[in-house]
Amino acid sequence: MFVRLDQPQIEQLTRQGCTATDWGKISIHHGNDLSRIVRCNFIGEVEIGDFCGLAGGTSTIGLPNGLYDSTIADCEIGDCVLVKNVGLLRNSVLAFHTCLFNCGVIDYDGHASLGTMALLNEGGGRPVPLSPLLSAPVAHVLCHYRHEAELCNALTEKLMWKMPGRCSIGQGTTICNCKKILNVCFGAENTIDGTELLKNGHVGIRNIIGTGVNAQNFVIKSDNIISDGAMLERTFVGEGCEIGKQFSAVDSAFFANCQAFHGEACSLFAGPYTVTHHKSTLLIACQTSFFNAGSATNQSNHLYKLGPLHQGIMERGCKTASSSYVMWPGHIGAFSMVMGHHGKHLDTSALPFSYVLERDGKSFIMPGANLRSVGTWRDNDKWPKRDRRQDREQSEPLISTMLTPYTAQKIVNAISLLQNLKQNAAGNEVHYNGCTIKLAALSAGIRLYQLALGRFIFDTLTNCGKADNNSSVGAEMWVDWAGLVMPQSVAENIITAMRDKGIDIAAINQMLHDVPVDHQLHELNWVLNYLRQHDTTRNEALRQAASDANMLDTMVLGDAENDFADFTKIGYGVEGEPNTNDADFSAVRGSADDNSFLRQIKQQIKEREKFA
């Protein structure tokens, strides 16, 4: 129950150093402790809740809740709130147990809008709304279906987010040591400490935004850490991301579990698990997911003609080596490693799991070479373990598995492509899309692809249970919507719903969440359809697939042994007897037999032997 101040209460607050433009517009919770309102200036309508208990913020823990040394204009102050040393707090609604301490200005003029991002293409043409309702799959559709204006208009309308008339600061949120916050709303359980400027933004729940951060026109959704002088402009940060160490991003989106430090991004569509840790790294006008950028990775989207119009796709699982360079436009196949300086426009999309190398200015492809790298399989194992999102059921859906029908169909097509290239080869190398493939690498690639396909078939037949004879969904082409793979027919159903103006974004998101639920069944349908096409029984397939999988895993173990070879011990045991380096290496690195991931591979090989 709120009541207007009576004369004795006004006199008490005046003695405590408080002023008001109109005391008649100040109301307080009945029975509130006025001794906790000290040296404050009130402007306009101010409603003050019940001050009880102590503040709980990291910088304010133990301080009594109340209003101290602050100017407060047109605000609603909830119960158990601390506002202390705030130069101006205006047009805001503070929920239960919020804390504002030692801040310059927290203002809200009610006229802000979040705007849009120029994702993927810096020159524009692919606008994506900055909205808390945005997810990676939805952003993917908005970027790649611009030729369907009706669809994009309907989807954009579903995503529209109107800023409220007043700033809301959610329950349990702490804002301290911040210089200026203008037109930003905050959800619950956030910690905002030491920011330089936050302007025109939405902060969801359980985020940490730290020292020196400068963000304008942004969304920071949930479970993120933005710190150490990060600079964001027209940028979306989704769930479980870490951005800091002076990283700069403009017109970019970072979805689940991305990490971005030191470098720079412009018009970057960073799908789940995009990672860039190094200085001098520029990611520009491209789409990635499950991606790792080596130090000094660089890309160009500007040929100095009509502007920065070019763009690139690095499909899921790609990596770049240190000092790699790619000129856009380009399209790099899934789970490929790019090394060297590529001044031509690469298209290796039909050859997944490849090494894309540069020698003497020429681009070479080693098809499938990344399949025998232990690092590729270790990535597949580590992604689920590095999910920082606290509410998995409500988080945006993704499928991190490396071998899926999406990559399997690419492998099948790659085998056919390489066999045709080999059949028509005139010398010891062939040329494909401006790149060179050595004949030996081509033959090795065919074999690696065959082994990987066997590995996928074995895993699916042994892990996915029984087929649903009433459904054939999945026995078709698959697509990847920024980290979420699905059958084409499922994607088409979702697209149909997106076009329907009567279906809201919550229903669309539920359809997207159903994709991982049905994934194993759809995956099994793809494999069974593949076996039918090749007139192979399930038991025959299991025997051959087990053999293929074990052969591939044996190659992976062989690659891992290089990490324990004698040359890797250089720099160990720098003082002592000649054998000291072995002891030092063992103490620091252990052995191949001790490595948990390699033990897991060996165990899988052993279990498959009963099928082979």
Cα separation, 138 vs 130, in Å, equals: 12
Q: Is the pLDDT of residue 394 over 80?
A: no
Give which of 571, 573, 568 is closest to 591, Cα–Cα: 568
Torsion of CA 562, 566, 567, 569, to 10 degrees: 110
Residue 131 near residue 160 (C-beta atoms within 8 A): yes
Q: Does position 395 have pLDDT exceeding 80, yes or no?
A: yes
Q: In whole angstroms, what is the distance from residue 593 CA to residue 120 CA? A: 44
Cα 93–chain centre separation: 31
Model pLDDT for residues 299-346, shown as the tens digit of each residue:
998 877 887 889 999 999 999 999 999 999 999 999 999 999 999 999
Cβ neighbours for 534, distance < 8 A, ≥ 6 positions apart = none
Reply yes or no on whether the pLDDT at 612 is more than 80. no
539 or 112: which carries more pLDDT confidence? 539
> Is the CA virtual torsion 61, 63, 69, 74 positive or negative?
positive
pLDDT tens digits, 282-300: 999 999 999 999 999 999 9
Query: Is it the case that residue 49 has pLDDT exceeding 60?
Result: yes
- The one-character DSSP state at 64 is B
* Count of residues making up the chain: 612
Q: What is the longest distance spanned by two Cα atoms in the chain? A: 101
Average of pLDDT values for 56-61? Answer: 60
Q: What is the pLDDT of residue 590?
A: 83
pLDDT surpassing 80 at residue 393: no
How is residue 232 written in tokens? 């964001």
The residue type at 290: F
End-to-end Cα spacing for the chain: 76
56 has a pLDDT exceeding 70: no
Give the C-alpha separation, 89 to 112, whole Å: 17
Q: What is the pLDDT of residues 404-457, one digit of tens each?
A: 999 999 999 999 999 999 998 888 999 999 999 999 999 999 999 999 999 999
Q: How far apart are alpha carbons 312 and 299 in whole angstroms?
A: 9
**Beta pairing class for 2-4 and 26-29:** antiparallel
Query: Which pLDDT tens digit goes with each residue over 445-497?
Result: 999 999 999 999 999 999 877 766 678 899 999 999 999 999 999 999 999 99
* Structure-token pair, residue 602: 């060996």
Beta strands 197-205; 214-222: pairing state: parallel
Cβ-Cβ contacts under 8 Å for 295 (sequence gap 6 or more): 277, 278, 279, 280, 281, 322, 323
Mention every residue, 6+ apart, whose C-beta is less than 8 A from residue 360.
none
Give the pLDDT confidence score for residue 297 in this predicted structure.
Answer: 95
Q: What is the mean pLDDT of residues 188-216?
A: 97
- Predicted confidence (pLDDT) per residue in 538-587, tens digit: 999 999 999 999 999 999 999 888 888 878 878 888 876 767 888 888 88
SS3 594: coil
Residue carrying structure tokens 């404050």: 40
pLDDT for 58 equals 56
More confident residue, 75 or 573: 75
The Cα 542–Cα 370 span in angstroms is 24
Higher pLDDT, 570 or 134: 134
pLDDT class of 596 with cuts at 50, 70, 90: confident
Q: Distance from CA of residue 137 to its chain's centroid?
A: 12
Q: Choose from 106-115, 202-211, 586-595 the range with maximum mean pLDDT.
A: 202-211
CA within 13 Å, CB half, 482: 30
Residue 476 is predicted with a pLDDT of 94
Beta pairing partners, 314: 332
Confidence of residue 48 (pLDDT cuts 50, 70, 90): very high
Q: Which of 389, 402, 284, 388 is nearest to 353 (CA)?
A: 402
E strands, 120-229, in order: 127-129, 167-169, 174-176, 180-186, 191-193, 197-205, 208-209, 214-222, 225-226
Per-residue pLDDT, 467: 67
Q: What is the mean pLDDT of the chain?
A: 93
CA 189 vs CA 66, 163, 205: distances in Å: 19, 20, 6
pLDDT tens figures, 499-543: 998 999 999 999 999 999 999 999 999 999 999 999 999 999 999
| Least confident piece of the model among 262-266, 363-367, 389-393, 529-533 | 389-393
Please report the pLDDT score of residue 563 as a whole number: 83
Strands annotated E in 146-304: 167-169, 174-176, 180-186, 191-193, 197-205, 208-209, 214-222, 225-226, 231-239, 242-244, 248-254, 259-261, 264-266, 269-270, 275-276, 282-284, 286-288, 292-293, 298-300
Nearest CA among 237, 199, 240 for reference residue 216: 199
Phi-psi region of 503 (alpha: psi -120 to 50; beta: other; left: phi over 0): beta
Is the pLDDT higher at 161 or at 547? 547
Whether the predicted pLDDT of 148 surpasses 90: yes
User: In the chain, count of helices (H) and strands (E)?
Assistant: 12, 43
Burial of 463 (0-12, 13-18, 19+ CB in 10 A): exposed
Would you state the pLDDT for residue 529? Answer: 95
Name the pTM for this structure.
0.95
What is the Cα–Cα distance from 378 to 291, expressed in whole angstroms?
14
Let me know: does 108 contact 94? Beta carbons within 8 Å. no
Taking a C-beta distance cutoff of 8 angstroms, is the pair 111, 129 a contact? no
Looking up tokens 């099948």 gives 412
At 150 the pLDDT is 94
